[in-house]
Amino acid sequence: MELWDIRVTVESIEGRSVCGLAVGDYFDLTHSSHLSIPAGRHFCIYALAAVLPLLAAKQRALAADDWLGRESRVCCPDPDERLVMRIDRLRRVALDPAELT
């Protein structure tokens, strides 16, 4: 089976950064379920909660007419921040389904 490794990057903040994120902050999702954040950085759990439901779908091959193939931006739910994240597919990785949950 093949899945995409993904990077979620803070693309813009049009309000005030309540949680301390900055444009360019990111996390990677690799090997199906391994979430990593650069050393010394953090990622807001509320921003993470907003993007989390889309990640499993973005990891998989999508039908040509699937709207998720055309959309890559997600907004944090905090109205004071107006923070926008971008989901990028990095590389396709072959995985053994027996090693996954």
For the chain, what are the domain ranges?
Answer: 2-99
- Calculate Rg over the CA atoms of the chain: 14
Q: What is residue 94's predicted lDDT score, i.e. its pLDDT?
A: 77
**Residue 100's pLDDT band (cuts 50, 70, 90):** low
Q: Specify the pLDDT at position 3.
A: 85
Closest to 61 (Cα-Cα) out of 52, 70, 69, 72? 69
Q: Which tops the pLDDT comparison, 3 or 49? A: 49
Within 13 Å and on the Cβ side, how many CA atoms surround 89? 19
Q: What is the pLDDT of residue 60?
A: 81
- Asked if 60 contacts 92 with a C-beta cutoff of 8 angstroms, the reply is no
Model pTM score: 0.87
Condensed to tens digits (0 to 9), the pLDDT of residues 23-81 reads: 999 999 998 788 999 999 999 999 999 999 999 888 887 777 877 777 889 999 888 89
Whether the Cβ atoms of residue 58 and residue 5 lie closer than 8 Å to each other: no
- What is the pLDDT at residue 67? 78
Distance CA 13, CA 99 (A): 38
Grade residue 98 by pLDDT with cuts at 50, 70 and 90: low
For the chain, where are the alpha helices, taking DSSP H only? 45-59
Q: Are 10 and 21 in contact (CB under 8 A)?
A: yes
Q: What is the pLDDT of residue 46?
A: 92
